[in-house]
């Protein structure tokens, strides 16, 4: 199992801060790596991509602007503001993109950078930032946002003085980034109660690391085996990254065989329904819920899914409904305590009836994880399916069609 797209691209940005080359190993071959590499090269860095290894080295001159041609391709540009400010004192990055799963405002990022001493200005095509020198600050995030936590880490490590970040995200990918920065020479303390303390240092050096296996892919392929009534063995993803996921699947009747090298899942006696709500780490990950939704259609009874992280994460449900999945969505908080979307109109809870009889259909894939789930539904549907927008899957999963083929799924990959 290769490292995750959510980890590798953030490490690539962190490498901007080193005064020598950095090497990232066990990197996945995903579209977001190529996009991020092109952005770094546009800013004056040398990037070498060779199978599972990425080398990033400083160039002779750092350019302050990330070209507008990268507008909307992913969410990495906003993370480059802090490093560019340290290197040049000013920066421009284009508007960010990513999957249409709900509001992921850049306000948290901008407010954190402002607290660290940056002047931020919004324009029609992007964000401009200026700072003669970033300084430490006390920052409390309104929500434990992964991206905003990463912005603070990438910006505070070279700031003057101490930064204390409260209500920080603690996802494994965030900790992995903090450990990489520590290898580069950063002074970072991970404290209890979602608090991170960062003592700024004058310089960082290049470093080398090996990414841990992608917990999103691991869960997706384990579920793929369960959906199709088979058994899948996943190698290279540590058990501690899947604790909540394993327990959730076990409650549904999944049997696990777990070693230090691999995890195997099967459900020879069938699957039982469940009620699950997503949450920040260490809760059930929001990126796990799309495969789980399809798995619920194979369970014998009514299941409930309550999404609490992104209010529009269920945007993919119509595609699954078109394939015969019996799913109803609601604005109410079902399957868990009231969340921050309880008084709005966002359809963020779903009731799923199993066992649904799925049928082949022609559907458009709206985002990375939803695209994977549609493939899973198509794998157990009666008749062929035509899935458009497969580039979303390639942006986020390592060589997905080779992996699907290894699982026995027959695919005809077109150019759409």
Going edge to edge, which strands form the sheet with 195-199?
138-140, 162-166, 195-199, 187-191
**The CATH fold of domain 5-210:** UDP-n-acetylglucosamine1-carboxyvinyl-transferase; Chain (3.65.10)
The pLDDT assigned to 297 comes to 96
| Average per-residue pLDDT for the chain | 91
Residues 6 or more apart in contact with residue 143 via CB below 8 angstroms? 108, 167, 340
The pLDDT assigned to 102 comes to 40
Q: How far apart are CA 65 and CA 93, in angstroms?
A: 6
Catalytic residue check, 99: yes
**Neighbouring-strand partners of residue 53:** 50
Q: Which CATH class is domain 215-406?
A: alpha beta
Residues in the chain, overall count: 416
The pLDDT assigned to 413 comes to 60
Low-confidence ranges of the chain (pLDDT < 70): 97-105, 369, 409-416
Could you give the residue range(s) of every CATH 3.65.10.10 domain in the chain? 5-210, 215-406
* Nearest alpha-carbon partner for 281 in 247, 245, 319, 230: 245
Q: How far apart are CA 221 and CA 233, in angstroms?
A: 8
Residues 6 or more apart in contact with residue 303 via CB below 8 angstroms? 273, 274, 275, 276, 296, 351, 352, 354
Catalytic residue among 19, 32, 34, 99: 99
The pLDDT assigned to 331 comes to 95
pTM for this prediction: 0.91
The pLDDT assigned to 104 comes to 45
């Amino acid at each position: 199992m290769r490292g995750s797209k959510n980890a590798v691209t953030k490490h690539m940005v962190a490498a901007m801060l080193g005064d020598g080359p950095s090497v990232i190993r066990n990197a996945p071959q995903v579209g977001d790596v190529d996009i991020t590499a092109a952005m770094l090269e546009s800013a004056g860095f040398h990037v070498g991509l060779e199978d599972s290894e990425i080398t990033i080295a400083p160039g002779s001159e750092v350019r302050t602007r990330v070209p507008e041609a990268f507008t909307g391709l992913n969410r990495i540009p906003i993370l480059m503001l802090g490093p560019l400010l340290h290197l040049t004192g000013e920066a421009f990055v284009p508007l960010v993109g990513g999957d249409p799963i709900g509001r992921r405002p850049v306000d948290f990022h901008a407010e954190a950078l402002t607290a660290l001493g940056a002047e931020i200005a919004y324009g029609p095509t992007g964000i401009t930032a200026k700072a003669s020198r970033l300084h430490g600050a006390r920052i409390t995030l309104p929500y434990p946002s992964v991206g905003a936590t990463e912005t603070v880490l990438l910006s505070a490590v070279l700031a003057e003085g101490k930064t204390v970040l409260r209500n920080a995200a603690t996802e494994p990918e965030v900790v992995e980034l903090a450990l990489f920065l520590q290898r580069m020479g950063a002074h970072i303390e991970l404290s209890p109660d979602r608090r991170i303390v960062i003592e700024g240092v004058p310089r960082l050096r290049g470093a080398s690391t090996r990414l841990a296996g992608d917990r999103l892919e691991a869960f997706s392929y384990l579920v793929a085996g369960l959906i199709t009534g088979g058994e899948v063995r996943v190698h290279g993803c540590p058990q501690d990254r899947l604790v909540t996921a394993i327990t959730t699947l076990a409650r549904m009747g999944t049997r696990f065989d777990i070693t230090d090298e691999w995890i195997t899942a099967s459900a020879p006696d069938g699957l039982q329904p469940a009620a699950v709500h997503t949450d920040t780490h260490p809760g059930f990950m929001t990126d796990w819920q799309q495969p789980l939704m399809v798995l619920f259609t194979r369970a014998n009874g009514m299941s409930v899914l309550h999404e609490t992280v992104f209010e529009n994460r269920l945007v993919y449900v119509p595609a699954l409904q078109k394939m015969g999945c019996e799913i109803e969505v609601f604005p109410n908080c079902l399957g868990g305590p009231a969340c921050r979307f309880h008084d709005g109109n966002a359809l963020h809870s779903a009731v799923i009836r199993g066992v649904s009889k799925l049928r082949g259909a022609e559907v458009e894939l709206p985002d990375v994880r939803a695209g994977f789930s549609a493939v899973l539904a198509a794998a157990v549907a009666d008749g062929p399916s035509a899935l458009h927008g497969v580039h979303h899957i390639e942006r986020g999963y390592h060589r997905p069609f080779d992996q699907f083929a290894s699982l026995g799924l027959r695919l005809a990959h077109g150019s759409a």
